[in-house]
Structure 1
Amino acid sequence: MNDDNPFEAPAPVSKGRARRVVLAALPVVLVLAAVGGAAAYTKVTVDDADRAVPTRLWQKPAHEPAKDPAGDLERGRATTELSKLLLPVPAGYRLGPDSGTYGNDAELSGAAATAEMKDGGRGLSGRQRREFEKRIDKLHIQGLAVRTYASHDNDLVVDTQLVRMKDKKAVRDLYTFRHDLFDSIDVLRDGPKIAGHPKNASCFLDPKDDDLRIEGMFCMAYEGEVMVTFSASGVEPFRKSAVAELVKDQLKHITSPGEYV
């Protein structure tokens, strides 16, 4: 990396070394991979689960939440410039479980998102952390918006995060860095292509594990000054094409937010 480009593409890494490199730099990799705590991949550990019964990713509560006094928000809030860019909850889905501490439909200011991203460098030495924080500052983060979706069949959960940055070049550089990094990790599998977005969107599947009935997929994309992150988990047969369709719809919604119904 150089000082003019905080997230230039990494030098080629041999596949034999890739996993060791990522594990050694895990605290930084996770932060660079996704603002706000989405991991490099969304593998769910269910070693203690009862495999004799169907697995559900999220159990619908016995009682529906009370209506929000602001009106019908079943498709998500659209009260700010950034929240309007989040894909409204599509047919076949509802708002999903909380995304970490954010809730299932939330937004952070640029300052709060920047501070949280910097907090991911706590494991670094003093000099490394200062350099890390300088590179985050160069992203000029304007805000972070989060929304989760759960399928009505309870077989798929999707966590979406949008990060708006001031510099479109920084967005492209960060996407290239993330894509090249993930592409160098031999344990990750190539995910489906996003139709119409060969250069600004890509997906990766979790390592194959025959002992688990749950699969995961991580997608990254960008459109203009907005970085998009999708983390999805689902039971077999995993509907990766459905997740890819959501990514495509999200990118279209960013460019034409008033056209999505």
Structure 2
Amino acid sequence: MSDSTVTVTEAADPAPVPVGPFEPFGPVGPVERTPAPTGRRLLRATGATVAAALVGVVIGVGVIETRYDDPAPASAAAAPTAAAPAPTATPTPFGAKANGNHFGSLRDLLLPVPAGYALGPDDGGYGNDVELSADQLSAEMDSDLQQIPKEKRDKLRQYWEGLHVKATGVRTYKTGTDDLVIGLRLRQFNQQEVQKANEYTAVFTGDTGLFRIGPGIPGHPEAHCYLMPAPPSAPIDYLECSAAEGDLLVIMSAEGAAPLPKDKIVTLFSQQLDRLASPGASA
């Protein structure tokens, strides 16, 4: 992920003002990369820290699967026919409500590892396939907030509580040739704040001139992608995409040998967004 920090103004109605592509789960920066077997350093793994969110409206949507047993054969004495069993309902383990809120494990909502990929390297200290609860994220934030003055700390804590954080899901992927690593993160929090975060990132990465414009995501106008600044001769390139899907902020990072295979990256991000589409996200 790209670097970002959160500052607090001294205005009458203070609000955190992110600097850099907005990361609502705190200042996130590159960590030390682990070299792939080829010797390339591929993933800018990131850690989640200060300020962010996941709203906890976990509303289930059931899919009814109706099954009936074969009717019992009629006897010669015309015995009474057994009543068919009542239909049974099998709840979906995860999905999306019509209002855009998602339910179920974020690990289920994350895109399964597609054919041609394997789980990638660890994303910071969180591993390569994990869900972090609101309590875990809050405890980590509190630890990081000890480094700043108390008055700013209290304002950031107030901001965090207003986001209604629920969880973060993380999964990384790598190609079989180890020349591309992709990280996906699902941040679940208040829908209005998710939308603001995505809009802010689009404006910041599009209007400052600091980033190169990335590919579009067909069928998902709310998604946007951008590439990090890099000289034309750089051997490694880095691309990031962001999208808002209801109460989920979806962030994808991709790093690999230049030029990046943008078609593969777009396809994978599209598959992730399609999986989250509401209503009725499913396996």
Normalised by the length of structure 2, the TM-score is 0.64
Give yes or no for the alignment of 1:241 onto 2:266: no
Structure 2 gaps of 5+ residues are 1-8, 43-93, 95-103
CA RMSD of aligned residues (A): 3.2
Amino acid at match of 1:244: V
The question of 1:150 aligning with 2:174 is answered: yes
- Structure 2 CA distance for aligned equivalents of residues 115 and 30 of structure 1: 24
Contact kept in structure 2, 1:57 and 1:154, CA below 8 Å: no
Of 235, 238, 250 in structure 2, the residue corresponding to residue 216 of structure 1 is 238
* In 2: Cα distance, 1:31 partner to 1:102 partner: 21
1:32 Cα deviation after fit: 4.0
Which among 91, 101, 105 is matched to residue 81 of structure 1? Answer: 105
Distance, in Å, in 2 between the alignment partners of 1:257 and 1:227 is: 15
Moved more, 150-159 or 120-129: 120-129
| Partner residue in 2 for 1:35 | 25
Q: 1:176 to 1:4 in 2, by over 3 A?
A: farther
SS in 2 for 1:102: coil
SS in 2 for 1:234: strand
Tell me if the contact between 1:36 and 1:116 (Cα under 8 Å) persists in the aligned partners. Answer: no
Q: Which runs of 5+ in 1 are unaligned?
A: 11-27, 59-77
What TM-score, normalized to structure 1?
A: 0.69
Structure with the bigger RCO (C-alpha within 8 Å, sep 6+) is 1
Residues 124, 43 of structure 1: alpha-carbon distance in 2 compared, 3 angstrom cutoff: closer
Aligned length in residues:
210
| CA distance in 1 between partners of 2:187 and 2:12 (Å) | 22
**How much identity, in percent, do the aligned residues show?**
32
SS in structure 1 at match of 2:114: coil
Which of the pair is proportionally richer in helix?
1
Q: CA deviation at 1:56?
A: 3.3
Secondary structure of 2:171 counterpart = strand
Cα distance in 1 for partners of 2:226, 2:242 equals 9
